[in-house]
Amino acid sequence: MSLAGSSLSSGGKAALSFGRTYVVKPKGKHQATIVWLHGLGDNGTGWSSILETLPLPNIKWICPTAPQRPITLFGGFPSTAWFDVSELSENGKDDVEGLDATAAYVASLLATEPADIKLGVGGFSMGAATSLYSAACFVHGKYHNGEPYTTNLSAVVGLSGFLPCTSTLNQRIEGVENAATRAASLPIMLCHGKGDDVVPYNYGDKSAQRLVSVGFRDVTFKSYSSLGHYTVPEEMDEVCKWLTTKLGLHGN
């Protein structure tokens, strides 16, 4: 199943047109809904095909497609991307406007889910980075631009990704009412291959360490010795087991 794309403006910039969204309906009793975000240059259909095969009958998956936008790293050449990337570096400038716009779009996809359904966000590579940014917004209770973040997340998964805005993460948690409690209780799973030649393994490792250092207490980090910048059945099997446990999924 797919839904037509929609538009969302970011700051004073022109509206971004999000692409087609693919929905994988639960095969059993609907207990959780997870928005899953693809990597740079990809779209929602490939991951929806993978997620449909997983033994998770109680999860509804929503797989949107990122807007086409000029990518600074590519000299302005357009690509499907959740935010702009200036350089593949730990010191690269974060596109907070783009991150805010995508996090808000993800929240809008979850906004119409029934009240008794647990909500989550996950993704691969750039999609993983966006998922972790959404986790930070949930803990802070607001986006970077100050607008309130009202989605109640129950799980976050990031494969082969990295944590954006690391330098401001701690100060945005300190002094915010209930932020420490939300950080401590939100389950996060990160997976990364030691053979990743696109997003280096140490980015994932340091991201997990940074999350723990600022108060995220339920962080699981899985490493894979020969895994490159892609997924394998072993990794997805562990994601399935983790989601089943953390979301309390049961029955068919």
Share of the chain above pLDDT 70, in %: 90
Tens of pLDDT, residue by residue over 47-68, are: 999 999 999 999 999 999 999 9
* Model confidence, pTM: 0.92
Share of the chain above pLDDT 90, in %: 80
Domains identified in the chain and CATH numbers: 2-246 (3.40.50.1820)
Tens of pLDDT, residue by residue over 93-108, are: 899 999 999 999 999 9
What string of H, E and C letters represents the secondary structure of 170-218?
A: HHHHCCCCCHHHHHHHCCEEEEEECCCCCCCHHHHHHHHHHHHHCCCCC
Rounded distance between C-alpha atoms, residue 67 and residue 95, angstroms:
14
Handedness of CA 250, 132, 60, 239 (dihedral sign): negative
